[in-house]
């Protein structure tokens, strides 16, 4: 079991922005705070659940990793919030930080 915190897990929201590629539209983003009582730690990442048209999960996939390095946390994501421009804010209680994640397609500037 990986600890999750914040409303992303309690009340999953669907990404409704247009900044990220179309395949992320209506996907669920989940901040996994990570385990604290395991010898080998797990979690401490952001995963995305791609959904079928009926709302069931088609695929879970890592979205942002790297908060866990050599079995030590260097960050622990807590929650996420979609901004009006479609970017995502990610809170990290390990570092007392909020990160803004945006997307730019340099190969397709018309997007």
Averaged in consecutive runs of 10 residues, what is the pLDDT profile of the chain (111 residues)? 47 83 93 85 90 91 91 90 95 94 79 53
Residue 96 lies in a domain: yes
Alpha-carbon distance 51 to 55, whole Å?
A: 5
Residue 107 within any structural domain of the chain? no
Within-domain flag for 111: no
CB of 34 within 8 A of CB of 66? no
User: Is 109 a member of any domain?
Assistant: no
User: Which helix H or strand E contains 28, and what residues bound it?
Assistant: strand 28-32
* Residue 86: domain span: 7-101
Q: Which residues pair with 24 in a beta bridge?
A: none
Provide the pLDDT for residue 45.
Answer: 92
d(CA 107, CA 98): 28
The pTM for the full model equals 0.78
CA distance linking residue 74 with residue 65, whole number of Å: 11
pLDDT of residue 9: 44
Judge whether 1 lies within some domain: no
Residue 89 · residue 104 · CB < 8 Å: no
- Would 21 be classed as within a structural domain? yes
Number of domains in the chain: 1
């Amino acid at each position: 079991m990986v600890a999750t915190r914040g409303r992303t897990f309690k009340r999953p929201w669907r990404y409704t922005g247009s900044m990220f590629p179309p395949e992320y539209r209506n996907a669920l983003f989940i901040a996994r705070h990570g385990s604290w009582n395991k010898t080998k730690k797990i979690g401490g990442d952001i995963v995305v659940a791609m959904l079928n048209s009926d709302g069931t999960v088609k695929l879970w996939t890592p979205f942002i990793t790297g908060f866990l390095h050599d079995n030590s946390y260097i960050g622990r994501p807590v929650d996420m919030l979609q901004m009006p421009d479609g970017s995502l804010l990610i809170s990290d209680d390990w570092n007392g930080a909020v990160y803004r994640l945006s997307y730019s397609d340099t190969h397709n500037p018309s997007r």
